[in-house]
Amino acid sequence: MNNFRSIDELILALSREKTLLKEMFAKRKTLSFRSDFAEQLVDFKLDRIRYLVDYGVIRDNGNFLELEDVYLKFFEEVLEVNEEINVESVKSNIDHLNETIEYYLQETDEGQKYGYLREVRRSLKNVALNTKRNVIDLKRNVDNTYKNEPNYKIKKSKLKHLDEKRDGIKLQIREAERVLDEQTTFFAMAMDSDLRIVVDDVRADLNESSHNLIEIEKQIIEYLNLIDYQSQILKKIRLIKYFRDQQVLETNTDIKNRIQNMNPVWMEPNSGYRIKVSLNFLRNADEGLAILREVRERKALKGVGKKKLAEPLTVDDLSVDSALQQMVDQTEMKNSFAASSSDLFRFVMNYKYPYDIDLEGKLVLFCEIASQFYDELDFTDRYEDAFGYEYPLIYPR
Partner 1 sequence: MLKSSKEIFEILSKGGFISSNSVLAANRAYFDLIEDDFDAYLEYYGGVGFVLECGDGYYYFSRAEAKVNVVDKLSRFCDWIDRLDFLKTFNAAFASGFVFSKAKILERLSCDMELKDKASKLYSDKKTHSDVVDKLVDDLVKIGFVELENDIENSYKVTAAFHYLEEMVNCLNVVEGAQSEIPE
Residue 243 in the binding site for partner 1 (CB under 8 A): yes
Report how many residues bind partner 1 under the rule CB under 8 A: 39
- Candidates 8, 69, 268, 390; binder of partner 1 (CB under 8 A) is 268
Residue 240 in the binding site for partner 1 (CB under 8 A): yes
Min. distance of Cβ 265 from partner 1 in angstroms? 4
Q: Which is nearer to partner 1, 159 or 344 (CB)?
A: 159
Residue 13: partners with Cβ closer than 8 Å, 6 or more residues away: 4, 51, 52, 55, 57
227: number of Cβ within 10 Å: 16
Q: Which is nearer to partner 1, 264 or 305 (CB)?
A: 264
Q: Using an 8 Å Cβ cutoff, are 259 and 249 in contact?
A: no
Give CA torsion, residues 78, 80, 81, 84, to 10 deg.
90
Residue 388 in the binding site for partner 1 (CB under 8 A): no
Q: Using an 8 Å Cβ cutoff, are 82 and 73 in contact?
A: yes
Residue 241 in the binding site for partner 1 (CB under 8 A): yes
Cross-strand bridge partners of residue 377: 396
What is the rounded distance in angstroms from the CA atom of residue 246 to the CA atom of residue 315? 82
- Candidates 62, 264, 303, 354; binder of partner 1 (CB under 8 A) is 264
Q: Which is nearer to partner 1, 267 or 315 (CB)?
A: 267
The DSSP call for residue 53 is: H
Planar angle of CA 245, 247, 252, nearest 5 degrees: 105
Phi-psi region of 318 (alpha: psi -120 to 50; beta: other; left: phi over 0): alpha
Min. distance of Cβ 275 from partner 1 in angstroms? 13
Residue 263 in the binding site for partner 1 (CB under 8 A): yes
Q: Which is nearer to partner 1, 79 or 262 (CB)?
A: 262
Min. distance of Cβ 286 from partner 1 in angstroms? 24
In angstroms, the first-to-last Cα distance of the chain is: 140
Residue 254 in the binding site for partner 1 (CB under 8 A): yes
The DSSP call for residue 64 is: E
What is the rounded distance in angstroms from the CA atom of residue 159 to the CA atom of residue 255? 36
- Candidates 270, 280, 326, 341; binder of partner 1 (CB under 8 A) is 270
Residue 387 in the binding site for partner 1 (CB under 8 A): no
Residue 9 in the binding site for partner 1 (CB under 8 A): no
Residue 249 in the binding site for partner 1 (CB under 8 A): yes
Binding site for partner 1 (CB under 8 A): 150, 152, 230-234, 236-244, 246, 248-256, 258-260, 262-270, 273
